Structure 1
């Protein structure tokens, strides 16, 4: 298989090497980078560790797929019709097995806006019910936002929700793989799911886990709930290999450091501020220097601190 990478490289616990300053690592495709084989049969096209832009075509998350021996399972519909097609072109270059199933990791644009490409191919799209609700309620505005940065690259994209939904788990046995799509509990955004391959000890974590870039805290991101889900459901998976929602494939130690570790650190800083009588204006300036190495730090750090303050005021 082309681009097969040594697991030792992905699993290393060294410093992050991504850079949000690289506009495009794969100029011959709308994909930000070409797919790499993480473990045998499991591939991921690693997105930019930057906000979505015209230059990266909105490919700023990880688009993964599993070649099972009896068909291909894709994880994430992609940020646009054209981006989904570009991913499909890469899959076809690797295997003649047809795509039989697509999962959306949540209801965000980079997970769902390529759905109508896949449904045109007759492929079922599966997501958690909460993700489907997000697409139904906000799909139009999500699409409009993508059109503003992606311009002509948005051509052909229409709002298409998942065609199959579930509440707790959706299990697939296909070819050589036992695949478990699981909703573990509240995390980064409504309907976040993980794709767990227990026989390979690999989890495609979606936005449950971040690596190499700072995670964003949205209005509906409840950090205390995310930490509880992490401790009670995600960590006990005991995954050897982790494909995070953003950043290169790695191991549990690294995503713990940049996801759980960051959330606990920020909540600690904000909690101390609240105990000392500080207000929202001061919260924006709490010390986050241990995480300045992360991409999107400049874009997200102050916003994150403000939202955590607003949450913790009422906890």
Structure 2
């Protein structure tokens, strides 16, 4: 008979219970509820997911590792700096193209990041290679046309900007895999960034390039991340959530009636205490969040106020 063990507690020091637009969130590594991501991110992610609050969904859980403020600096990512998108050349009767040196540089970066991701996947132990059933790999930046000719300079710039933005999910996917490898290292008592040394030993990447990756936003742990919203009733990446929290990613668990009644082992881990509900923060935002579907039940606010009132009465 297989014996099941309760999940270990989540780090309470990083936890806050928040309320926004009548919805309760149990948050880790966050002290507020963010607005949805910028509309331009819908260029390379499923339009049904963005720009709703579920931008890091079962389709793209790695997007939680996307930097809040992407910075294309350093040897590896510096080639994506904004001015590169404005370097347009005429190509005779074939229209206009992105400058050849920029195109070559971006193709090289795309190939390098693809090779990095492939190598990171290869370093994962077999029991750590399972991913959400619905997860999709990020689209390649080249699929947005930065290497193609276009009818006008404006079309070239638009394709270049979309292609440049499309490097962000690729970077986030690499971060996602690196954090999995760091978790494996912690569990085995290994050096946390053992993956970097392993890549050097494979001699597939120059050591200086790997070092630059470690200094970039792909790996830098001081980089603020977008984070993820989690609904226990539908989340397929709970296996990763503890890693997300332990390595500092903001995580917001939705605590609505549907989640409260979900028969799941995580329910007791995130259930707000009476004290947390009594001291809950009331937040406002300049831009209303998209709280469509079950998230935005207009009666939920009344339900919670009455519940809190009853709790206070019972405590006496």
Which category of TM-score, normalised to the shorter sequence, fits these structures?
A: under 0.3
Relative to its length, the structure with more helix (as a share) is 2
What is the TM-score with the length of structure 1 in the denominator? 0.27
Q: Which protein, 1 or 2, shows the higher relative CO under an 8 Å CA cutoff with sep ≥ 6?
A: 2
Relative to its length, the structure with more strand (as a share) is 1
Larger Rg: 2
